[in-house]
């Protein structure tokens, strides 16, 4: 227990806490206790002002929504299409126009409801046809339909206890008038949900009661038990703001249009806590706290926080790869020693990274050089050229064509055009290879190419697809003893180039839970020997996989899918290169 207390006491934060507790808490309690009674009056005044402002904001929001509803109803009533629709009578000659205007009226009323989420229903009543059209189905709105004969251009309270809208509703009706004859053609009526509006506005206020009364003393909206009886003796048009028994009462008159003044009663609980300060108490307490906070912040920031934040920033830069984020700040001896150790760590880390990159570069160069040695038979290239000219001299064009195709393949394998070639040249090499194989297999093997035009200009490693076609012939189609088809497809998907070689050969048995690579490694020694003897390029599937890995990295791969007796599909995913790198 003593050792625990000793460790805790050594913590700098705990020492600061022990220092600030008596220095700040005791004077603050003394100041607040002396001047608390003076704060009460100022607190009450401030709360009354807040209640008055809140009441004004609520009324402003309410009047805005009511006027917006009145304006949208008015725009529907004076709409040319609605007036035209109201003039038409039910007759065979007018049926087409009536149908079109009916759709237009439904659309207009629906848009009016969608623009004002507090409007529950909008209906259009036509005198000529004695017809009523509403924005939504009248099911469950019997109370709404019963009030279509209300007065014009005024909000009237509607008791709708039997409707699905349980709460306080208002109706607003605008007549549809012929501008020439001034004849009333119908009316547009909107139902405004006061409960929905006030429930949203009052959700953030701590009121105990609220009520809206129209000039006929009818309740337009009520929330809570308060009824405004305390204001029965006020003069007409006077606003009242007073307190009584820890409750603040506010009564205001609000104009909702057409000269109608409603009475708005609002009351909120008065907080008993002293949240405002007397100016002398504020000055003394704030000054004291500021001085204490400045002093402690200066000490803490100078000796601990500032150097710690600097070191944290430098470490964040180092994590992102900036190994030059050295410690250069001047601070205490302990921090300088820590900074020197941090700088030495960065230097050592940079040396290790350089060493790893150098070793990886040497390893990659060695592996690429080993691969190139497999594809660099110069003597065979020169010999075949000699055979080609001898065949031409002796007028044997078939041998000349085969040798020419083989020379082109060897020329590509030598890499005289670089490590990467366009995909169209790679496909041309496959055609040369198949021209050679035609002399052995005839028309038994067909190659179908489906290359997206956008992929032909993409650069790929040379001799990438030919070994796959060769593998499909030797291990897929030739053992099947039937006509074979090799399909080569290339396409782009997002930021990847996909190349796929598919055959209908004998395929391989791929056990559940394993991959095509396991099946390839399970080939017998006799098959492997035959493959090495007959393979033209000498490049296996593993070679192609390693080439992709070396050029592009491990995230780009070659996938093998095969079913016994159905064929094999090999798909490669490569990055898109539009020019050789």
DSSP collapsed to 3 states, 59-102: HHHHHHHHHHHHHHHHHHHCCHHHHHHHHCCCCHHHHHHHHHHH
Query: Range with the lowest mean pLDDT among 144-158, 161-175, 205-219, 548-562?
Result: 144-158
Higher pLDDT, 558 or 257: 558
> Would you tell me how many other CB atoms lie within 10 Å of the CB of residue 467?
22
Residue 359: per-residue pLDDT: 77
Residue 39: per-residue pLDDT: 65
Per DSSP, the residues of 185-218 read: EEEEEEEEEHHHHHHHHGGGS--SEEEEE-TT--
Confidence of residue 573 (pLDDT cuts 50, 70, 90): very high
Is 489's pLDDT higher than 90? Answer: yes
Q: Which residues contact 319 (CB under 8 A, 6 or more apart)?
A: none
Question: What's the CATH code of the domain at 473?
Answer: 3.30.565.10
Pair 173, 116: CB distance under 8 Å: no
Is 203 found in the same domain as 180? no
State the burial class of residue 307 (Cβ atoms within 10 Å of its Cβ: 0-12, 13-18, 19+).
buried
* CA angle (51 as vertex; 47, 55 as ends), nearest 5: 170
Q: Which residues contact 81 (CB under 8 A, 6 or more apart)?
A: 101, 104, 105, 108
- Express each pLDDT in 282-299 by its tens digit: 667 666 766 675 566 566
pTM, entire model: 0.43
Residue 532: per-residue pLDDT: 43
Residue 529: per-residue pLDDT: 47
Helix/strand/coil percent split, the chain, to 5? 55, 20, 25
Does 96 fall in a domain?
A: yes
- With tokens 């059209």, the residue in question is 133
CA dist 277 and 350 (Å) reads 59
Is 564 found in the same domain as 460? yes
Is 241 found in the same domain as 183? no
Is 345's pLDDT higher than 70? Answer: yes
Is 570 found in the same domain as 447? yes
Is 381's pLDDT higher than 90? Answer: no
Confidence of residue 369 (pLDDT cuts 50, 70, 90): low
CA dist 194 and 235 (Å) reads 27
- Going 48 to 51 to 57 to 62, the CA torsion angle's sign is negative
Is 235 found in the same domain as 130? no
Percentage above 70 pLDDT, the chain: 66
Residue 537: per-residue pLDDT: 47
Closest CA to 269 of 199, 208, 198: 208
Count up the domains in the chain and report the number: 3
Residue 492: per-residue pLDDT: 94
Does 26 fall in a domain?
A: no
Task: Decide which of 166, 189, 212 is a domain's last residue.
Answer: 189
Q: Which residues pair with 496 in a beta bridge?
A: 493, 575
Residue 519: per-residue pLDDT: 54
Q: 403 is written with which tokens?
A: 């040798």
Is 202 found in the same domain as 178? no
Residue 105, CA distances (Å) to 72, 147, 348 in order: 14, 20, 79
Is 546's pLDDT higher than 90? Answer: no
Does 494 fall in a domain?
A: yes
Percentage above 90 pLDDT, the chain: 8
Does 540 fall in a domain?
A: yes
Q: Which residues contact 55 (CB under 8 A, 6 or more apart)?
A: 250, 252, 264, 266
Query: Range with the lowest mean pLDDT among 111-120, 404-413, 457-466?
Result: 404-413
Is 179 found in the same domain as 90? yes
Residue 531: per-residue pLDDT: 43
Residue 22: per-residue pLDDT: 65
Is 513's pLDDT higher than 90? Answer: no
CA dist 54 and 201 (Å) reads 10
- Express each pLDDT in 104-135 by its tens digit: 888 888 888 888 888 888 888 888 888 888 88
Does 45 fall in a domain?
A: no
The H or E element that residue 253 is part of is strand 247-255
Does 467 fall in a domain?
A: yes
Helix (H, G, I), strand (E, B) or coil at 330: coil
Task: Decide which of 137, 161, 189 is a domain's last residue.
Answer: 189
Q: Report the mean per-residue pLDDT for the chain.
A: 76
Residue 143: per-residue pLDDT: 46
Confidence of residue 551 (pLDDT cuts 50, 70, 90): confident
What's the rounded mean pLDDT across residues 484-503?
93
Q: Which residues contact 449 (CB under 8 A, 6 or more apart)?
A: 427, 430, 487, 488
Task: Decide which of 227, 249, 269 is a domain's last residue.
Answer: 269
Confidence of residue 13 (pLDDT cuts 50, 70, 90): low
Residue 464, CA distances (Å) to 422, 426, 541, 551 in order: 11, 7, 10, 12
Does 79 fall in a domain?
A: yes
Residue 276: per-residue pLDDT: 47
- Go through the chain and tell me how many residues it has: 581
Residue 212: per-residue pLDDT: 86
Is 449 found in the same domain as 561? yes
Is 522 found in the same domain as 472? yes
Is 253 found in the same domain as 214? yes
Does 176 fall in a domain?
A: yes
Residue 568: per-residue pLDDT: 92
Residue 525: per-residue pLDDT: 44
Buried b (16+ CB within 10 A) or exposed e, 400-439: bbbbbbbbbbbebbebeeeebbbbebbbebbebbbbbbee
Is 223 found in the same domain as 183? no
Pair 323, 348: CB distance under 8 Å: no
Is 250 found in the same domain as 154? no
Confidence of residue 371 (pLDDT cuts 50, 70, 90): low
Question: What's the CATH code of the domain at 65?
Answer: 3.30.450.220
Question: What's the CATH code of the domain at 207?
Answer: 3.30.450.160
Query: Range with the lowest mean pLDDT among 65-79, 234-248, 390-404?
Result: 390-404
Range of the domain at 215: 198-269
Query: Range with the lowest mean pLDDT among 263-267, 277-281, 423-427, 547-551?
Result: 277-281
Higher pLDDT, 337 or 532: 337
Distance of CA 561 to the CA centre of its chain: 36
Residue 163: per-residue pLDDT: 54
């Amino acid at each position: 227990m003593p050792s625990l207390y000793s460790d805790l006491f050594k913590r700098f934060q705990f020492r600061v806490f022990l220092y600030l507790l008596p220095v700040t808490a005791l004077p603050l309690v003394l100041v607040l206790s002396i001047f608390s009674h003076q704060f009460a009056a100022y607190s009450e005044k401030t709360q009354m002002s807040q209640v008055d402002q809140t009441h004004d904001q609520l009324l402003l929001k309410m009047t805005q929504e009511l006027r917006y509803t009145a304006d949208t109803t008015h725009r529907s009533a004076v709409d040319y299409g609605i007036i035209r629709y109201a003039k038409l009578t039910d007759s065979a000659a007018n049926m087409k126009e009536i149908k079109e205007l009916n759709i237009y009226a439904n659309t207009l009323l629906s848009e009016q409801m969608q623009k004002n989420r507090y409007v529950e229903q909008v209906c259009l009543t036509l005198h000529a046809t004695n017809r009523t059209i509403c924005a939504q189905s009248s099911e469950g709105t019997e109370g709404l339909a019963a009030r279509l004969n209300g007065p014009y251009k005024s909000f009237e309270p509607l008791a709708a206890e039997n409707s699905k809208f349980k709460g306080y509703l208002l109706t607003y009706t605008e007549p549809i008038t012929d501008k020439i004859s001034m004849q009333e053609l119908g009316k547009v009526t909107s139902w405004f949900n006061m409960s929905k509006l006030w429930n949203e506005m009052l959700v953030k206020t701590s009121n105990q009661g609220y009520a809206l009364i129209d000039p006929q003393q009818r309740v337009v909206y009520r929330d809570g038990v308060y009824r405004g009886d305390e204001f029965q003796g006020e003069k007409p048009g006077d606003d009242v703001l007073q307190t009584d028994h820890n409750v603040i009462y506010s009564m205001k008159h609000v104009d909702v249009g057409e000269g109608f003044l409603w009475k708005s009663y609002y009351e909120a609980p008065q907080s008993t806590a002293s949240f405002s300060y007397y100016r002398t108490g504020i000055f003394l307490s704030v000054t004291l706290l500021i001085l204490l906070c400045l002093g402690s912040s200066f000490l803490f920031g100078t000796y601990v926080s500032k150097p710690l934040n600097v070191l944290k920033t430098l470490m964040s830069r180092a994590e992102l790869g900036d190994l030059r984020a050295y410690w250069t700040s001047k601070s205490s001896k302990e921090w300088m020693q820590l900074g020197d150790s941090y700088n030495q760590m960065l230097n050592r880390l940079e040396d290790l990274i350089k060493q790893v990159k150098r070793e990886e570069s040497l390893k990659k160069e060695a592996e690429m050089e080993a691969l190139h040695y497999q594809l660099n038979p110069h003597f065979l290239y020169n010999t075949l050229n000699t055979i080609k000219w001898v065949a031409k001299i002796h007028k044997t064009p078939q041998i000349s064509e085969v040798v020419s195709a083989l020379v082109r393949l060897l020329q590509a394998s030598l890499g005289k055009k670089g490590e990467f070639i366009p995909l169209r040249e790679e496909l041309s090499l496959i055609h040369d290879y198949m021209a050679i194989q035609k002399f052995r297999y005839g028309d038994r093997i067909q190659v179908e190419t489906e290359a997206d035009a956008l992929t032909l200009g993409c650069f790929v490693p040379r001799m990438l697809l030919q070994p796959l076609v060769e593998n499909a012939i030797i291990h897929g189609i030739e053992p099947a003893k039937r006509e074979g088809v090799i399909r080569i497809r290339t396409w782009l998907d997002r930021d990847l180039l996909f190349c796929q070689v598919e055959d209908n050969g004998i395929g391989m048995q791929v056990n559940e839970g394993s991959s095509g690579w396991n099946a390839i490694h399970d080939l017998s020694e006799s098959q492997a020997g035959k493959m090495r003897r007959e393979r033209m390029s000498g490049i296996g599937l593993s070679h192609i996989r390693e080439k992709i890995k070396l050029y592009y990295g491990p995230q780009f791969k070659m996938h093998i899918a095969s079913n016994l007796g159905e064929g094999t599909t090999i798909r490669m995913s490569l990055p898109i290169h539009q020019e050789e790198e």
